[in-house]
Amino acid sequence: MTSLERILSRVERPARYVGGEFNAVVKDWDKTPVRIAFAFPDVYEVGMSHLGLHILYHVVNSREDALMERVFAPWTDMEREMRREGLSLFSLESHRSLADFDVLAFTLQYELSYTNVLNMLDLAGLPTAAHDRRAGMPLVVAGGPCAFNPEPLAPFLDAVFLGEGEEGLHDLVEVVKKHGRTRSSRAELLRALAGIPGVYVPCLYRAEYASDGTLAGVRPVVSGIPERVRKRVVQDLDQAAYPTKPIVPYLEAVHDRAMLEVFRGCTRGCRFCQAGAIYRPVREKNPGILLAQAAELLKNTGYDELSLTSLSTTDYSRIGELVGALVDRHQGEQVNVSLPSLRVDAFAVELARAVQAVRKSGLTFAPEAGSQRLRDVINKQVTDEDLLQAVGAAFAAGWHRVKLYFMLGLPTETLDDIAGIARLARRVLERGRECGVARGRLNVTVSTSSFVPKPHTPFQWEAQTPLPELRERQAFLQGALRGKNLVYRGHEPETSFLEAVFARGDRRLGAVLTRALELGCRMDGWRECFRFDLWQRAFSETGLDPGAYANRTYRYTDVLPWDHLDTGVDREYLAAEHQRALTGETTPDCRGQECAGCGLCPGLAVEPRVLEAGGGAG
């Protein structure tokens, strides 16, 4: 019996660590020149729900000269056993140590997974610091949304990939194939990587600080590499590689269903939303292609649910006919079509009603803020009336539980805006009673999280509301929401605080991450593992003030830690949007005729693709 087998009998859900799932690709290791491990810094069930994993797995494994395997962060019980047995972190496909791979490709989806990145390197027996890794050791690369400010992780990463990987990953494979096998000079390899559009090599840029400790700039230290690294973007999503044979996990993943990406990008321009900024422009896929991909997906996976995943799926120009056609074609096979997020209006609810034969759960809407004033500030173009019509339609259609999602601590927020959340929730409740929902079953749940100012958004200059104030506002809302049929769920503000610190942080935070890991911080996104006291200790021992990152208001003239990374959206546009926010002016959806002028399309030589409404699908 191997030591892995022995360990597996001691841990929860051993299926997380064995692989062997349907559609997993196991290639001949010795005959494949470039070997990449896709590393997801969270547990299996979370990572397997991530569409990006399936896309990149497909992109790399479609090549004859490259393979991609998977590795996830082991849960704490598994980590303990692995360390006790001296077992190196291994991939699920070939069960090889991560140290055997040419590239470890981490995805950064969430700031609170950063300690897991370091921990996974350590578990593989690799030095966490990039400058300690020698020739022959894997390249550590990261991508994903948080890669748009990777500075806190800069000391640990060899390269960072900005933007969409479908095409850029091929460039990476080519460079690794050319330089990696000889493994002669790591410096040479890094230099070559920095020549790939969209690739940022942190060690080739130096962070400089002013005498008061503020950042003065992050600048190239060698010639011939860009001052600002610009993201990659796929021009034609219809032609882009799409995984219609994704791995089907044994374990129930968080999203345990077939995922069909209907479009990429979002046109709404909510000012707090980083995804809305970094995935621009909107690119809708052709309904004929979507129908064909849906059929293949269902046939190749056996899933009984198909989720239309995009940032705001109901915005798809031909959503009605797409959903109609999907239901027509697949209802006979007992397939449910699902919409992950519902726009706040009656049309969206009508659509949900049409596809969901069973009202298995409640519906969730995200008005984000409690007053019209504040919703104008954040450019969330939803009115009280939109929400009341939406919930009215939901109650009339037989749903009796409604969940409303808001943020606390948004810029300019006052207590009256928070009271507005409670007022709105009560009106929703009232609408439920008017619609005749039985009092015993009627339920309105208000869920809040704390606003986190994110890089590359109009709110990037804004400070996060300080922790004590966030706690007070939560308590205030809790008090205002007492009552029958009302439930309030707050989110720990401490996690949002750390999220803000690392979202807005610079390279100096690397020391905090290292210390936090030593102190035992990991799986910080999990309530049962999160140890704020240890984090506070890590900050104080490294002499850094987390508040100086999270609660600092930047001036437009300040250098931001992510200024050398370019999403394609003009900084001037973000500043103008920020100004408009403060005066409560809204900006129209760029789906319409009016272009708000964010500068992305001309800059990246790309065009938004919005289909004409109507017409036959297919």
Partner 1 sequence: MRVRLVYRQEGPARFISHLDVMRAFERAARRAELPLAYSQGFNPRPKLVFAAPLPVGTSGCREYVDLELEGDLAPEEVLDRLCRNLPGGLVPFGARSAVGPPLMSLVRRACYLAAGDLPRGFSAGHLEEGIARFLARREIAAERKTAKGIRRKDIRPGIHRLKAQSDGDRLKLTMKLEAGSARNVRPDEVVRALGVDLELDAESFNVLRTAVLSREGVLLWDL
Q: By C-beta, is 5 or 77 nearer to partner 1?
A: 5
- Does position 441 bind partner 1 by CB under 8 A? no
- Does position 358 bind partner 1 by CB under 8 A? yes
Of the listed pieces 4-12, 170-178, 185-193, 597-605, which binds partner 1 according to CB under 8 A? 4-12
**Least distance CB 356 / partner 1 (angstroms):** 11
Tokens for 79, please give them. Answer: 């980590």
Distance CA 257, CA 49 (A): 8
**Least distance CB 258 / partner 1 (angstroms):** 11
Q: By C-beta, is 8 or 308 nearer to partner 1?
A: 8
- Binder to partner 1 among 51, 241, 248, 534 (CB under 8 A)? 248
- Does position 22 bind partner 1 by CB under 8 A? yes
Of the listed pieces 3-11, 365-373, 420-428, 451-459, which binds partner 1 according to CB under 8 A? 3-11
- Does position 85 bind partner 1 by CB under 8 A? no
Q: By C-beta, is 19 or 74 nearer to partner 1?
A: 19
Question: Do 29 and 67 touch, CB atoms closer than 8 A?
Answer: yes
Bridge partners, residue 450, by sequence: 408
Tokens for 194, please give them. Answer: 């920095």
Distance CA 325, CA 319 (A): 10
- Does position 250 bind partner 1 by CB under 8 A? yes
Q: Is 518 exposed, middle or buried (0-12, 13-18, 19+ CB in 10 A)?
A: middle
- Does position 362 bind partner 1 by CB under 8 A? no
Ranges of H-type helices in 144-207:
165-175, 186-193
Of the listed pieces 7-15, 108-116, 218-226, 426-434, which binds partner 1 according to CB under 8 A? 7-15
Q: By C-beta, is 116 or 301 nearer to partner 1?
A: 301
- Does position 19 bind partner 1 by CB under 8 A? yes
**Least distance CB 257 / partner 1 (angstroms):** 11
- Does position 1 bind partner 1 by CB under 8 A? yes
AA identity, residue 482: R
Of 447, 464, 550, 557, whose CA–CA distance to 502 is shortest?
Answer: 550
Distance CA 70, CA 89 (A): 11
Q: By C-beta, is 305 or 384 nearer to partner 1?
A: 305
- Does position 545 bind partner 1 by CB under 8 A? no
- Does position 20 bind partner 1 by CB under 8 A? yes
**Least distance CB 255 / partner 1 (angstroms):** 15
- Does position 360 bind partner 1 by CB under 8 A? yes
For β-strands 363-368 and 336-338, DSSP reports them as: unpaired
**Least distance CB 296 / partner 1 (angstroms):** 12
Q: By C-beta, is 16 or 564 nearer to partner 1?
A: 16
Long-range contacts of 58-63 (CB under 8 A, 24+ apart): 58/241, 58/242, 58/243, 58/245, 58/246, 59/165, 59/166, 59/169, 59/170, 59/241, 60/36, 60/169, 60/173, 61/25, 61/27, 62/241, 63/34, 63/170, 63/173
- Does position 252 bind partner 1 by CB under 8 A? yes
What does each C-alpha distance from 617 to 172, 285, 292, 307, 316 come to in angstroms?
Answer: 37, 12, 11, 18, 13
- Does position 251 bind partner 1 by CB under 8 A? yes
**Least distance CB 352 / partner 1 (angstroms):** 17
**Least distance CB 21 / partner 1 (angstroms):** 6
Residue with tokens 């507005």: 420
- Does position 21 bind partner 1 by CB under 8 A? yes
Binding to partner 1 (CB under 8 A) within 277-316 occurs at: 299-304
Of 537, 409, 411, 421, whose CA–CA distance to 473 is shortest?
Answer: 409
Of the listed pieces 15-23, 145-153, 438-446, 579-587, which binds partner 1 according to CB under 8 A? 15-23
AA identity, residue 150: P
Distance CA 105, CA 135 (A): 17
Q: By C-beta, is 45 or 79 nearer to partner 1?
A: 45
HSE-CB at 228 with a 13 A cutoff on CA atoms is 16
Distance CA 254, CA 570 (A): 36
Of the listed pieces 8-16, 107-115, 490-498, 585-593, which binds partner 1 according to CB under 8 A? 8-16
Q: By C-beta, is 21 or 167 nearer to partner 1?
A: 21
**Least distance CB 182 / partner 1 (angstroms):** 35
Q: By C-beta, is 82 or 278 nearer to partner 1?
A: 82
- Binder to partner 1 among 59, 321, 333, 598 (CB under 8 A)? 333
**Least distance CB 44 / partner 1 (angstroms):** 12
- Total interface residues for partner 1 by CB under 8 A: 29
Contacts of 226 by beta carbon, 8 Å cutoff, 6+ apart: 220
Q: By C-beta, is 10 or 131 nearer to partner 1?
A: 10
The answer to whether the Cα torsion of 188, 194, 200, 204 is positive or negative is positive
561: preceding bond cis by omega (within 30 degrees) = no
Distance CA 311, CA 44 (A): 23
- Binder to partner 1 among 211, 223, 334, 583 (CB under 8 A)? 334
User: Which residues contribute to the site for partner 1 (CB under 8 A)?
Assistant: 1, 5-6, 8-10, 13-15, 17-22, 248, 250-252, 299-304, 333-334, 358, 360
